[in-house]
Amino acid sequence: MTAGAPAAEEAGGAPGHAASGHGRDDHTGSLGRRMMLIAAGWISVLLLVGGLALDRTLTSMITRNFDEQLGYMLTGMIGSAEIGPDGEVFFVRPLGDQRFLEPNSGLYWQIRGKGHEDFPSRSLWDRSLDAPLDHFDANPHVYDSDQFSGEPLRVMERSIMLPGSDTKWMFTVAASREDLNDQIRKIRLILVYSFVALGFGLLLMAGLQTWYGLFPLRHVRRAIFRMRQTGASRLTDPLPREVAPLVEELNALLAHTDRQAEEARTHAGNLAHALKTPLTVLMNAATARAPDLSDAVIRETAVMRRQVDHHLARARAVGRRAAGMSRASVWVSLEAVLRAVERLYEHARFDLDGNRDVQVAMEKQDLEEILGNLIENAAKYGGGSVFVTVDAGSDPALCEVWVEDDGMGIPEAERIRIFDRGARLDTGKPGTGLGLAIVRDVVELYGGHVELAESEDLGGLLVKLFIPRAAALPV
């Protein structure tokens, strides 16, 4: 098992289940594999850069130490050299290293002056060091040389003017690079073995860290799998702080889904209950061959149509609410509604006042539908004056819209019943009795509510509409 293998299963589905989509992978890869690839890449880069830097540093140190040894020998040569009576250079004392006396020993010295014979070490035997005299090196000059076939050399040379001589003498000492190269090879071999072991250890540690770090995600996966099997509605297992927000959002989503499912069941039950009575009336009338069957069909069909319209409006609101973050301008929607209502009730006077910039967390179509219902009811049942105030309250979370008329109003005892489907206090004017019920249901779907009161200014009905404000847009 490789180091990253324990964490590679993070992207998989629940235990015992293949990926959905008929064999198609519906994921973007493994988190564990991504983490291991990042760790492997970063470890490789660090080890490579660190290894090269360390190799260069150690190689430089070994080479510098080798050059210092050559420098000591060169200094000893210069200190031991004098000019004889014949003008030739000679050593007043022998150099201490025995290798200078052994032929082809790998350690050599040579003194050369223009117009004079070369003064070489016995280790050179029948060879000589190529030390050109066309320049003057006041300081020691070090370089690599391949002048001896099969024996790379490290050469140090320096130009000296000896007392009693006008000749520029070139003192040269050379040593075989074999020992130096062998030391460098050993150091590099140690570095390679050390860094390979270090890299393997770091990758193993990264694999264990990935496996252990992603363990809570596997725990969440298993918990979700158990939740599907047992029918639980929440994840209650204790989890690390970093995973807790994910679980909270998941629980919120599950709760939201449960609410939607419950709303759908309630909605379907209400619709079935609302249609059951008209269908029973029609069935009884048809079975009894009642003489007023056609009138009963028209009457009960109208009732069913009103119920269907009501539930369709509520279903549309639920669908639009679940589509995402909603936002609508109250003032813009009111102006659009007033333009339509003014054509139907030309005798009525409409006044609009308040905050022009407030926005609410509601779809524009739903906002215009509930405002249209309220304003049309105010114009229909009022005495001719309708006053709408936007943002009448001071709640920072809710926008309060007041719709007032100068009609007869609604007695306080009837204000709760008026929200029932089909409830109408004034049967002398056409209507379905579903307007306020639709307003209440749609507003409550968005987290708001509706209140009825008596208008202090106009004396009629005051409808207070409370709608959640839209969140501020990021700058």
The two beta strands, 385-390 and 349-354, are: parallel
Q: Residue-wise pLDDT tens for the chain (475 aa)?
A: 444 444 444 444 444 444 444 445 566 777 888 888 999 999 999 999 999 999 999 999 999 999 999 999 999 999 899 998 888 898 888 888 888 889 989 999 999 998 888 899 999 988 889 888 888 888 999 999 998 888 999 999 999 988 888 889 999 999 999 989 999 999 999 999 999 999 999 999 998 988 888 887 777 878 787 777 777 777 777 777 777 777 788 888 888 778 777 777 766 766 676 677 778 877 877 887 778 778 778 777 877 776 676 666 666 656 555 544 578 899 999 999 999 888 888 888 999 999 999 999 888 888 888 898 899 888 888 888 999 999 877 788 899 999 999 988 888 777 776 665 444 444 444 443 346 777 888 888 888 999 888 888 888 889 999 999 988 766 5
Q: What's the CA gap between 285 and 298, in Å, rounded?
A: 12
Q: What's the CA gap between 61 and 66, in Å, rounded?
A: 9
Residue 30: which residues within 8 A CB-CB, separation 6 or more?
Answer: 7, 8, 9, 10, 11
Q: Which domains does the chain have, with CATH numbers?
A: 88-176 (no CATH), 244-321 (no CATH), 328-468 (3.30.565.10)
Coil vs helix vs strand at 28: coil
Say if CB 432 and CB 306 are below 8 A apart.
Answer: yes
- What amino acid occupies position 461? L
Q: Which two tokens stand for residue 240?
A: 């690390």
Q: What is the pTM of this model?
A: 0.50
